[in-house]
Amino acid sequence: MPNLALNRTITRFYNSYSMIFGRKTSSGEADEQWKSEKCLNTMRQSFHRSLTTCRAPLPPGKKYVAVQFLTKELIFYVVDAKGKGQEVFDEASKHLGLSDSELFGLAFYQDGDYIFIDLNLKVSKYAVRSWKTNINGIGGDGQPLLVLHMRIKYYVDCHLLINEKVVRHHYYLQLRENVKNYLQPLSEEKSFLLAALALQADLGNYTEEKHKNRYFEIYNYFPAWIVKKIGEEFIIRNMPALHKDNAGLSRGEAQVGYIKEASDISAPHNLHFYKMRRKKGKVWGNVWLGIGDSGIHIYEDVENAKSLLSTFSWCDIAKLHFEKKKFEILSEGSPEYRRFTYFVQNEDLAKHLLWICRMTHHFHMANQNRVAELKKLELDGIHTLIILNAS
């Protein structure tokens, strides 16, 4: 199985990240920290073009890597065996036509979780051993043994940060996937509202001539548990009227509407979820760590749905720490910190959680001024006009 394989001689600072918050540091300082994280090696020597097959033999030292996009498209790249993740990311961004890729990242799928890779590191760090030893990095099924996923790495609470057409489309697709899979406590009304916006974004205006009977795949637009609860026939019977209500909305407007509704704080889907447990030996997945733009959220499973237990905004967290499989949150308090301890499946996952929290916090801090400016523009009606023109 692939693992993060981060440096075993990791420093104490990395093991224990003391959070730097808005009231303790300026946005300018946070911006400089964020920029330093983005100053990666941009050498392009390892890469060729995007490929739709991986049958051609490669010269020594070259390997195939597959990248799965949120559109379900699978593209192959040729990479130097010692090439870095940044090189794969740059080529994937070019394939999508992204001029602004800051919200995206590359991840591999392991034990039900998407684990984002550090783009500074060699891609071989995240590969199974057979990828390194097999010719061309190809398995017995003729497919690359290293598959990475181009996904949303940084969720935002302010939709105004998503103002590029391609970025908006893929962010929308990510939230569509999250709504189907996250088991958030979604009301029936909200599920219909989201589905109607998605149908408008995907199919355009409802017409009786084009959209007859079962004109959409139900499980592409509704979580399975909602379908089980209310039934397919009820959905088929009522969905056309709600779809019709969105007539006149452009694709971009419908996507923005979906993004806003799916990010509602009552049941947010704009965050990452990772399985945890309270004590050693307990069943996995009884507690979930949610990582979003505003901070950390702890959920528990209640009757096959997630129930919010605690929320820690970034300014309420004094320190995050891991030790082997143990992940700890120390919250600000008087006269001393409160400590919340959870356990994850392995040490590599604990390291990853600390890393993705640190990166998300830096991203949040670096964009505070930008969000304030965009909200001012929205009040003036300027930013909304830009989005409408980009639709």
Residue type, 341: T
User: Tens digit of pLDDT for each residue in 135-155?
Assistant: 899 999 999 999 999 999 999
Name which CATH class applies to 159-267: mainly alpha
Q: For every one of its 391 residues, what pLDDT tens digit does the chain have, with 9 covering 90 and above?
A: 444 443 443 334 344 555 444 344 455 555 555 544 443 332 333 444 688 898 899 999 999 999 999 999 999 999 999 999 999 999 999 999 998 999 999 999 998 899 999 999 999 999 999 999 998 999 999 999 999 999 999 999 988 899 899 999 999 999 999 999 999 989 999 999 999 999 999 999 999 999 988 999 999 999 999 999 999 999 999 999 999 999 999 999 999 999 999 999 888 999 999 999 887 766 655 899 999 999 999 999 888 788 999 899 998 898 898 888 899 898 886 556 688 899 988 899 999 999 999 999 999 999 988 888 887 887 776 555 555 555 6
In 3-state terms, what secondary structure has residue 204? coil
pLDDT in tens, 187-226: 999 999 999 999 999 999 999 999 988 999 999 999 999 9
User: Is residue 188 a contact partner of residue 230, using CB atoms and an 8 Å limit?
Assistant: yes
Closest to 342 (Cα-Cα) out of 354, 356, 325: 325
**Tokens representing 54?**
């991986």
Sheet containing strand 317-323, edge to edge, reads 16-18, 317-323, 326-331, 338-343
Rounded (5°) CA angle 348-350-356:
100
What is the spatial distance between Cα 98 and Cα 171, in angstroms, rounded to a whole number?
A: 12
Residues 358-388 pLDDT 10s: 999 999 999 988 888 887 887 776 555 555 5
**CA neighbours within 13 Å on the CB side: how many for 279?**
2
Total residues found in the chain within this entry: 391
Domains 159-267 and 271-363 share a fold: no
Fold classified for 271-363: PH-domain like (2.30.29)
**Domain map of the chain by residue range?**
48-152, 159-267, 271-363
Q: Under CATH, to which class is 48-152 assigned?
A: alpha beta
* Close Cβ partners of 391 (under 8 Å, ≥ 6 residues apart): 165, 250, 251, 252, 253
Phi-psi region of 327 (alpha: psi -120 to 50; beta: other; left: phi over 0): beta
Q: How many whole angstroms separate alpha carbon 363 and alpha carbon 154?
A: 8
Q: Say which residue the tokens 């905004």 belong to.
A: 313
pTM of this prediction?
Answer: 0.85
Taking the C-alpha atoms of residue 87 and residue 183, their distance in angstroms, rounded to an integer, is 35
